[in-house]
Homo-oligomer: A and B are copies of this chain.
Amino acid sequence: LEGGRSGVGRARAIAGAKVTIRDVARMAEVSVATVSRALNESSTVSVETRNHVLRIAGELDFVPHAGARSLSLRRTDTIGVLLPDLHGEYFSELIRGLDLGARGNGQHLLLSALHGDIGEAIAALRTMRSRVDGLVVMSPFAQSELLAEAVNGAIPLVRLNSRDSSRSASCFAIDNYLGAFEIAQHLIAWGHSRIAFVAGPADNLDARDRLRGFKDAHARAGQAAGPVLAGDFREESGFAAAARLLEAGLPDAIFAANDAMAIGCLQALKYAGVAVPAEVALAGFDDIPMARLVDPPLTTARVPIAEIGRLAVECCVELVRGRVITPGCRLFAPELLIRASSGANQGQAAPPRTRMRGRS
């Protein structure tokens, strides 16, 4: 009677029918408790029993049911990630960082990318809530407070790139204000007296901070800020903005709130036969890979997005594990990358005080 079991077990494994811990227990001729202990490295199992059980489990190709496990353990070992509609290298680098942080801590990643409004985000958050131990949320929405509310304190929440004054949240963000301030300062230092700004979406927090940095750098320098043009972070809107400037009269420099729009500007300028940086200097933000490949290479601010993603997940895991972390926003300073598009001579130590310009 007992002899037949091995055959049954093997058949099971081959057929792919779900094999449970009871099957393993039966085959190994021990109790389910012992199997559980052996599988979970509990020390209260004799070495030989453990090995025996492990061998049988392997033969049966046993994989514990995650749902049952989470029911019993009250944890899922997965972190949920909610991201806005991101593009290109920025998105893939972010995910790379998130994945790194998760797998490094034995966590799975439940991903949800959003293609829409905040209502959709809240709905997504609700359905994720019961499947994850913690959440990492990146929301460009100004009303992102609502998101934290949706989670309702049920599980830890870490925010990405949404600096806000929320009392209790942990948050990892790029210092958009500082980066924009520095770029504007750089342009001003190089003698550009009329600098136009191509803004991002009005309801986007990153975009707002970059605009503030742009303006404050001018205020600090005691110089009037140039015109601010509307944009939406996409290349096309940069192209359109430059086209408007070409019509209204070119400034000395254009600072676009991200690289994609800066590249759009560059295209429009090239098309119109305007030399960059000789006639108009140009700068962007983000340092997407294309930035150094365009001609001329783009002056910009690099944001360590993968690193931030990794840290955010790690912080989330810590919170899940009950570590008390003082809440607050950790800001990461972007790195100013001066390339040819801003007209700065990289070999030269100090910027010129004034600058001769070909056009008035």
Q: How far is the CA of A89 from the CA of B171 in the complex (A)?
A: 27
Q: Which of B76, B96, B126, B290 contacts A63 (CB 8 A)?
A: B126
Chain B residues within an 8 Å CB radius of A87:
89, 92
Contact B96 A130 (CB under 8 A): no
Q: How far is the CA of A109 from the CA of B95 in the complex (A)?
A: 13
Contact B130 A65 (CB under 8 A): yes
Chain B residues within an 8 Å CB radius of A70:
66-67
Query: Which residue of B is nearest A263, CB measured?
Result: B293
Chain B residues within an 8 Å CB radius of A128:
108
* Binary CB contact string for chain A from 102 to 130 against chain B (1 if under 8 A, 0 otherwise): 01000011111111000000000011111
Q: How far is the CA of A61 from the CA of B67 in the complex (A)?
A: 22
Contact B293 A152 (CB under 8 A): no
For chain A, give the interface size range. 35 or more
Q: How far is the CA of A86 from the CA of B113 in the complex (A)?
A: 17
* Binary CB contact string for chain A from 48 to 69 against chain B (1 if under 8 A, 0 otherwise): 0000000000000101111111
Chain B residues within an 8 Å CB radius of A113:
95-96, 99
Q: Which of B64, B65, B88, B295 contacts A289 (CB 8 A)?
A: B88
Is A78 in contact with chain B by the CB < 8 A criterion?
yes
Chain B residues within an 8 Å CB radius of A267:
293
Is A100 in contact with chain B by the CB < 8 A criterion?
yes
Chain B residues within an 8 Å CB radius of A110:
78, 108-111
Most buried by B among A16, A92, A112: A92
Is A212 in contact with chain B by the CB < 8 A criterion?
no
> Contact residues of A with B, CB < 8 Å?
13, 15-16, 18, 61, 63-71, 76, 78, 86-89, 91-92, 95-96, 99-100, 103, 108-115, 126-131, 152-154, 263, 267, 289-290, 293-295
9 pairs from A and B in contact (CB 8 Å cutoff)? A61-B152, A64-B130, A66-B67, A66-B70, A67-B68, A67-B71, A78-B131, A109-B111, A289-B290
